[in-house]
Amino acid sequence: MNGFARIVRRELGLALRQAGDSVVIVLFFVLAAVLFPFGIGPEPNILSRMAAGTVWVTALLAAMLSFERLFVPDYEDGSLEQLALAPIPLEFTVLAKATAHWLTTGLPLMAAAPVIAVMFGMPEHGYGALMASMALGTPVLSLIGTVGAALTLGARRGGVLLALLVLPLVIPVLIFGAASIEAAIGGLAVAPHLLLMGGMLLAALVLCPWAAAASLRQALE
């Protein structure tokens, strides 16, 4: 087994022992979405119109909560030093971290998304696009999150700073994620939106590990 798979397995093993962390993120996702009907009122037409946007916005906010746990615990207990000194390029370590983060956060968010869509009465044509856009968009969130988490490592109040850094960067994911669902509901072509999200995923796959590794090296210096 190579180093990449070992780090993913290590992260998954740790996440499994601390499964509460992932559960909290998903609960936050559902709870934040549930707040909207209370604030806006129970009008079904309005809620079903809002479904796509709400799912994506709350998914982004829930993901924000999870980024701090990417590197901070490892930084504080010295594991990050040891990971940086393992004979694996730090870029691959970051990619493994992002993969494990997606498996423990993005995937559960994806699984919970249809539940929220049902609560909002989203039209049924939208579900395919919802799942496809979540499948392409949540890995982008994990990857951009590694950069934000690495940049704010060691900063005081890193969590707030992290959200301020990352939220603007994930706006394109929000725009095309919600738009793909709207397009599917309105009977328009979904593919262009999904292709753009696929493009974002590829770009993030190449650029984010590199940027995050550079800032981790800086943080460890």
Q: Locate tokens 């936050």: which residue? A: 28
- DSSP code at position 115: H
| Residues in contact with 203: Cβ distance below 8 Å, sequence separation at least 6, in sequence order | none
192 binds another protein (CB under 8 A): no
- Nearest approach, Cβ of 151 to another protein (angstroms)? 18
- Nearest approach, Cβ of 29 to another protein (angstroms)? 24
Q: Supply φ then ψ for residue 86, to 5 degrees.
A: -70, 150
- Nearest approach, Cβ of 13 to another protein (angstroms)? 7
82 binds another protein (CB under 8 A): yes
- Nearest approach, Cβ of 107 to another protein (angstroms)? 21
One residue of 87, 157, 168, 187 binding another protein per CB under 8 A? 87
The alpha helices in 41-125, defined as continuous H runs, are 44-77, 79-85, 90-101, 107-119
- Nearest approach, Cβ of 69 to another protein (angstroms)? 13
37 exposure class (CB count in 10 Å sphere: 0-12, 13-18, 19+): middle
Distance CA 195, CA 184 (A): 14
Gyration radius of the chain's alpha carbons:
18
Of 10 and 49, the one with the shorter C-beta distance to another protein is 10
Token pair listed for 164 = 């301020």
- Nearest approach, Cβ of 9 to another protein (angstroms)? 9
Of 92 and 127, the one with the shorter C-beta distance to another protein is 92
One residue of 6, 24, 128, 186 binding another protein per CB under 8 A? 6
34 exposure class (CB count in 10 Å sphere: 0-12, 13-18, 19+): middle
85 binds another protein (CB under 8 A): yes
Of 3 and 121, the one with the shorter C-beta distance to another protein is 3
One residue of 14, 61, 196, 205 binding another protein per CB under 8 A? 14
Task: List the Cα angle 137/141/145 in 5-degree steps.
Answer: 170
Q: How many residues bind another protein (CB under 8 A)?
A: 24
Interface residues with another protein (CB under 8 A)? Answer: 1, 3, 6-7, 10, 13-14, 17-18, 76-79, 81-89, 220-221
